[in-house]
């Protein structure tokens, strides 16, 4: 078992801590401090009290994000040292109301396999001499040498089921624990906010204790307007653990349903009485815009004609991360047993893209970052929400598309595929084996599930036998919506050894260390 200090890749963190200290001032802001007022209405300088974050980092590039409390010019400096000697300067966008004060700068030409220190300064657009206090962060670019290895963490589901920031219990403590692992990046596997999950100030727990949430006006109701969606992203940034984590660990982010509303699909019309805007397509447009403003995602940058969530983030010779989107292109939730289903859960275009990118990848390991599990039965009333349909026979409905993908991986001899996901609010490991399956034209593979980060936890879902899953490990509560005060908060860690190429996947519990670990061998189509 690895120690809590990581694998020995130690770097200075003083700059990160300085940035986190500045960022912690966000808790002093009014809870509803979401608006951007004209610069002349303030006597102070622009402030980046919401912290900084980096995203989609590769061997030579990355994105840096910030939010200003008023109109400002974003300026980024990068350096190989915490002293910022020989710093390189990047002039970023003018931040204002159109993006809720947020902005992202694309960094390119960075040295591979190096610790990059960066600081963001906000300048008054009318007088560049009036600048706010710099906020600092750091990240590692991906290596070009195989022997450098790789390590990352993943999880999902933040502030769901009524469980938000509880300052009395230390807030989002799981981010502090993941930060101690010193990962190369964090794969945020969806449900990054719960736009459909209002928060009450207090909740009585089963044992009589009181859970106390930090609350804001935007979290008092379901999100419908653009500013309400923005307010859900601002809410999570009130947590100091989250801001400190963002300043040290770059992210690869995807979405699922709760960024919009529970179990949504394109074209849906809501019957939920909490909503006055019942068109899901309208809500999706607003939610996607807020998501793109608050997370640095390379394919959602402003100016792109067709911003999309799915993409490949390449992390050197050992790892490619295939971020897929099982939400935007799916068909309607149904009994999911149709005999033909070209649209499926990915859509035809995304499936073609995924097959093409998997076939051209030369990485040792190909992580398929899926926002929903494959063989776990996830219901939506009388219908089905994910891939599985509770029928253990031959593929039907959305299973047809996954069968096509698995068959393609086998026949093209694509090695090193592993599926990582969250969504179901417990942690487990499933091994898929054709000898156990109704559909057998695929090679064995693993699917690892983890989460939540800070949300209700739930009992384990049933398995669907179509692709022959065997649940090798599971930890889940025996009742629904167990609060984070009772535990059952999980994340996963994946580490690739630079010498052997072995991939070790570990499932971890907040405050409890490693629950389960499996080492996979490189160069195999299935295992």
Beta-bridge partner residues of 323: 311, 369
Please report the pLDDT score of residue 127 as a whole number.
Answer: 87
Question: What does the alpha-carbon distance between residue 178 and residue 395 come to, in Å, rounded to a whole number?
Answer: 38
- The topology under which CATH files domain 51-140 is Immunoglobulin-like (2.60.40)
Please report the pLDDT score of residue 16 as a whole number.
Answer: 39
Please report the pLDDT score of residue 129 as a whole number.
Answer: 84
Question: pLDDT grade, residue 37 (50/70/90)?
Answer: very low
Query: Average pLDDT of 219-247?
Result: 98
Query: Average pLDDT of 159-185?
Result: 98
Beta-bridge partner residues of 252: 187
Which segments of the chain belong to CATH 2.60.40.380? 51-140
Cα 295 to chain centroid, rounded: 9
**70 with 42: CB under 8 angstroms?**
yes
Q: What pLDDT digit, counting tens, does each position of 275-322 carry?
A: 999 999 999 999 999 999 999 999 997 666 568 999 999 999 999 999
Question: pLDDT grade, residue 32 (50/70/90)?
Answer: very low
Please report the pLDDT score of residue 499 as a whole number.
Answer: 95
Query: Average pLDDT of 90-99?
Result: 95
Question: pLDDT grade, residue 4 (50/70/90)?
Answer: very low
- Is the per-residue pLDDT at 29 higher than 80? no
DSSP letter (8 states) at residue 383: E
Q: Which residues contact 282 (CB under 8 A, 6 or more apart)?
A: none
Question: pLDDT grade, residue 27 (50/70/90)?
Answer: very low
Q: What pLDDT digit, counting tens, does each position of 479-516 carry?
A: 999 999 999 999 999 999 999 999 999 999 999 899 99
Query: Average pLDDT of 187-201?
Result: 98
Please report the pLDDT score of residue 301 as a whole number.
Answer: 79
- The topology under which CATH files domain 146-520 is Purple Acid Phosphatase; chain A, domain 2 (3.60.21)
Beta-bridge partner residues of 91: 75
- Unique residue bearing structure tokens 């309400």: 228
Query: Average pLDDT of 63-84?
Result: 96
Q: What percent of the chain has pLDDT over 70?
A: 91
Return the number of other C-beta atoms located less than 10 Å from residue 114's C-beta.
16
**312 with 319: CB under 8 angstroms?**
no
Please report the pLDDT score of residue 305 as a whole number.
Answer: 53
Residue 220, SS3 per DSSP: coil
Q: What pLDDT digit, counting tens, does each position of 418-466 carry?
A: 999 999 999 999 999 999 999 999 999 999 999 999 999 999 999 999 9
Segment among 9-13, 194-198, 223-227 with least mean pLDDT = 9-13
Which segments of the chain belong to CATH 3.60.21.70? 146-520
Please report the pLDDT score of residue 10 as a whole number.
Answer: 37
Higher pLDDT: 231 or 42? It is 231
- Is the per-residue pLDDT at 18 higher than 80? no
Look over the chain and give the mean of its residue pLDDT values, rounded to a whole number: 92
- Is the per-residue pLDDT at 467 higher than 90? yes
Please report the pLDDT score of residue 1 as a whole number.
Answer: 38
- Which pair of tokens denotes residue 488? 């059952």
Question: What does the alpha-carbon distance between residue 212 and residue 250 come to, in Å, rounded to a whole number?
Answer: 30
Q: What pLDDT digit, counting tens, does each position of 328-353 carry?
A: 999 999 999 999 999 999 999 999 99
Question: What does the alpha-carbon distance between residue 432 and residue 435 come to, in Å, rounded to a whole number?
Answer: 9
Query: In whole angstroms, how far apart are CA 423 and each of 83, 158, 297, 337, 514?
Result: 41, 10, 20, 22, 20
- Is the per-residue pLDDT at 412 higher than 70? yes
Q: What pLDDT digit, counting tens, does each position of 361-388 carry?
A: 999 999 999 999 999 999 999 999 999 9
Query: In whole angstroms, how far apart are CA 153 and each of 96, 150, 319?
Result: 33, 11, 14
- Smallest Cα–Cα separation from 322: which of 306, 331, 309, 333? 309
**301 with 307: CB under 8 angstroms?**
yes
| Mode of pairing for the β-strands spanning 115-124 and 135-140 | antiparallel
């Amino acid at each position: 078992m690895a120690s809590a200090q990581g694998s020995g890749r130690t770097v200075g963190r003083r700059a990160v801590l300085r940035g986190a200290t500045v960022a912690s001032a966000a808790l002093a802001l009014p809870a509803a401090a979401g608006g951007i007022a004209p610069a002349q209405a303030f006597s102070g300088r622009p402030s980046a009290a919401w912290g900084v974050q980096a995203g989609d980092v590769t061997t030579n590039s990355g994105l840096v994000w910030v939010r200003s409390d008023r109109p400002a010019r974003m300026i980024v400096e990068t350096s190989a040292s915490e002293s910022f000697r020989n710093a390189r300067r990047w002039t970023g966008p003018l931040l204002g109301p159109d993006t809720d004060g947020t902005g992202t700068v694309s960094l390119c030409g960075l040295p591979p396999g190096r610790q990059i220190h960066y600081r963001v300064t906000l300048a008054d657009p009318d007088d560049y001499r009036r600048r706010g206090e710099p906020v600092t962060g750091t990240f590692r670019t991906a290596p070009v040498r195989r022997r450098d290895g790789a390590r990352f963490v993943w999880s999902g589901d933040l502030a769901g089921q009524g469980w938000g920031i509880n300052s009395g219990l230390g807030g989002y403590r799981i981010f502090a624990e993941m930060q101690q692992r010193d990962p190369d990046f964090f794969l945020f596997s969806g449900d990054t906010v719960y736009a459909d999950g209002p928060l009450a100030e207090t909740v009585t727990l089963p044992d009589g204790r009181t859970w106390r949430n930090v609350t804001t006006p935007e979290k008092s109701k379901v999100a419908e307007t653009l500013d309400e969606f923005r307010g859900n992203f601002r809410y999570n940034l009130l947590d100091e653990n989250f801001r400190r984590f963002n300043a040290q660990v770059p992210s690869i982010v995807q979405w699922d349903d709760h960024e919009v509303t529970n179990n949504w699909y394109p074209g849906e019309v809501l019957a939920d009485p909490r909503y006055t805007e019942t068109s899901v397509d309208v809500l999706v447009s607003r939610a996607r815009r807020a998501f793109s403003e608050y997370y640095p995602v390379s394919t959602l940058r402003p100016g792109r004609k067709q911003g999309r969530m799915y993409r490949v983030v390449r992390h050197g010779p050992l790892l490619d991360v295939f971020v897929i989107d099982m939400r935007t292109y799916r068909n309607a939730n149904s009994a999911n047993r149709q005999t033909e289903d070209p649209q499926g859960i990915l859509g035809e275009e995304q499936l073609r893209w995924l097959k093409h990118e998997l076939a051209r990848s030369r990485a040792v390991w190909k992580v398929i970052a899926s926002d929903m599990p494959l063989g776990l039965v996830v219901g939506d009333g009388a219908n089905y929400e994910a891939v599985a349909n509770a029928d253990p026979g031959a593929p039907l409905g959305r299973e047809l598309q996954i069968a096509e993908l698995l068959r393609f991986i086998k026949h093209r001899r694509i090695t090193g595929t592993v599926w990582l996901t969250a969504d179901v609010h417990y942690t487990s490991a499933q091994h898929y084996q054709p000898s156990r399956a109704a559909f057998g034209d695929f090679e064995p593979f693993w699917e690892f599930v983890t989460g939540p980060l800070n949300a209700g936890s739930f009992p384990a879902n049933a398995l669907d036998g179509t692709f022959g899953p065997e649940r090798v490990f599971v930890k889940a509560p025996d009742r629904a919506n167990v609060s984070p005060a009772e535990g059952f908060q999980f994340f996963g860690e994946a580490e690739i050894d630079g010498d052997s190429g072995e991939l070790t996947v570990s499932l971890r519990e907040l405050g409890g260390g490693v629950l389960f670990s499996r080492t996979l061998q490189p160069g195999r189509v299935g295992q």
